[in-house]
């Protein structure tokens, strides 16, 4: 696929998707959804970590409403056929995913960011569930992500009032992992991504599976799952390398297998 609404590069097994519609604050249109879905699936094949970020001053302003005939906009079909595959591709991605939120993330753009495993935001960034401002409910996974990340009370307040939540506040609430100064932001997320790209890739896959399954399992089921997945980790080359490196008091050199 030839990308226009996004760009995708893979350097040193770090796949980076950049939302590439800076002139409209990286608003999401049909083309971007298709390209983003394709690029995520491609990164899963040829990278060991995936980063999603935005070009320009914004991460993503949400759904592009410009030039649309709203009377004939089939919102349910768009969410089912275009948003759901994109978000599932990110959420189910077998490699670690990072949202590097370089600026404002609003509406579906905020929830696109939250679909990643780890969210790192610039201190200048903010998140806003802007849906009620135009008479809609949060979508793009917002009603699923937010209660799990920040609890019912904060999820209700953030969505009903459509308040702007700073990156610092998002960290305090547990919505995102960390916020860092704008100066050095790119260098920071690149360092984080490189750390994961050089890590035990198979282990990361099982970490993701275990944590995500925990919401549906009781303690007995989760303990059994931990045992099963740990058994798989124990058979990897990276586990053997990790133990040897520990005993030899040197950094481990993981190969992702």
pLDDT by residue for the chain (257 residues), tens digit each? Answer: 899 999 999 999 999 999 999 999 999 999 999 999 999 999 999 999 999 999 999 999 999 988 665 666 788 999 999 999 999 999 999 999 999 999 999 999 999 999 999 999 999 999 999 999 999 999 999 999 999 999 999 999 999 999 999 999 999 999 999 999 999 999 999 999 999 999 999 999 999 999 999 999 999 999 999 999 999 999 999 999 999 999 999 999 999 88
pLDDT of residue 66: 80
- What CATH number did the domain enclosing 213 receive? 1.10.12
Same domain, yes or no, for 233 and 152?
no
Same domain, yes or no, for 18 and 56?
yes
Does 18 reside within a domain?
A: yes
Per-residue tokens: 163: 């308040």
Same domain, yes or no, for 94 and 191?
yes
Query: Cβ neighbours of residue 179 under 8 Å, at least 6 residues apart?
Result: 120, 121, 122, 123, 125, 167, 168, 170, 171
- Structure pTM? 0.93
pLDDT of residue 69: 54
Does 254 reside within a domain?
A: no
Does 218 reside within a domain?
A: yes
Same domain, yes or no, for 205 and 192?
no
Domain with 221, as residue range(s), is 201-247
Same domain, yes or no, for 36 and 89?
yes
pLDDT of residue 43: 96
Does 252 reside within a domain?
A: no
Q: Report the 10 Å Cβ neighbour count for 214.
A: 14
Same domain, yes or no, for 70 and 84?
yes
Structural domains of the chain, count: 2
SS3 category, 188: helix
Strands (DSSP E) along the chain, which ranges? 6-11, 14-19, 49-54, 97-101, 105-106, 118-122, 126-128, 164-166, 178-180
Q: Which of 156, 173, 197 is the last residue of a domain?
A: 197
Does 1 reside within a domain?
A: no
Same domain, yes or no, for 119 and 158?
yes
Q: Are 19 and 29 in contact (CB under 8 A)?
A: no
Same domain, yes or no, for 232 and 154?
no
Same domain, yes or no, for 224 and 173?
no
Q: Which of 163, 178, 197 is the last residue of a domain?
A: 197
Same domain, yes or no, for 172 and 103?
yes
- What CATH number did the domain enclosing 134 receive? 3.90.226.10
Q: Which of 157, 182, 197 is the last residue of a domain?
A: 197
DSSP at 192: H
Same domain, yes or no, for 72 and 193?
yes
Does 256 reside within a domain?
A: no
Same domain, yes or no, for 52 and 26?
yes
Does 253 reside within a domain?
A: no
Does 85 reside within a domain?
A: yes
Q: Are 209 and 201 in contact (CB under 8 A)?
A: no
pLDDT of residue 232: 94
């Amino acid at each position: 696929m030839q990308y226009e609404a996004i760009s995708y590069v893979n350097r040193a097994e770090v796949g980076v998707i950049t939302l590439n519609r800076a002139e409209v604050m990286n608003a999401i249109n049909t083309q971007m959804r298709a390209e983003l879905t394709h690029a995520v699936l491609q990164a899963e094949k040829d990278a060991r970590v995936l980063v999603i970020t935005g070009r320009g001053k914004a991460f993503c302003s949400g759904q592009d409403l410009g030039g649309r005939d709203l009377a004939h906009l089939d919102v349910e079909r768009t969410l089912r056929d275009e948003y759901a595959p994109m978000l599932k591709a990110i959420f189910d991605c077998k490699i670690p995913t990072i949202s590097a939120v370089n600026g404002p993330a609003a509406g579906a753009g905020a929830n696109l960011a939250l679909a990643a495993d780890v969210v790192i935001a610039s201190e200048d960034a903010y998140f806003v569930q802007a849906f009620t401002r135009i008479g809609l409910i949060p979508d793009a996974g917002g009603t699923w992500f937010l209660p799990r990340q920040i609890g019912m009370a904060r999820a209700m307040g953030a969505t009903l009032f459509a308040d702007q939540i700073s990156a610092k506040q998002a960290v305090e609430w547990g919505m995102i992992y960390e916020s860092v100064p704008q100066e050095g932001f790119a260098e920071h997320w690149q360092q984080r991504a490189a750390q994961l790209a050089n890590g035990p890739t198979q282990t990361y896959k099982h970490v993701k599976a275990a944590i995500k399954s925990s919401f549906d399992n009781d303690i007995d089921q989760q303990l059994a799952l931990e045992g099963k997945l740990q058994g798989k980790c124990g058979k990897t080359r990276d586990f053997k390398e990790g133990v040897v490196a520990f005993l030899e008091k040197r950094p481990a050199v993981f190969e992702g297998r």
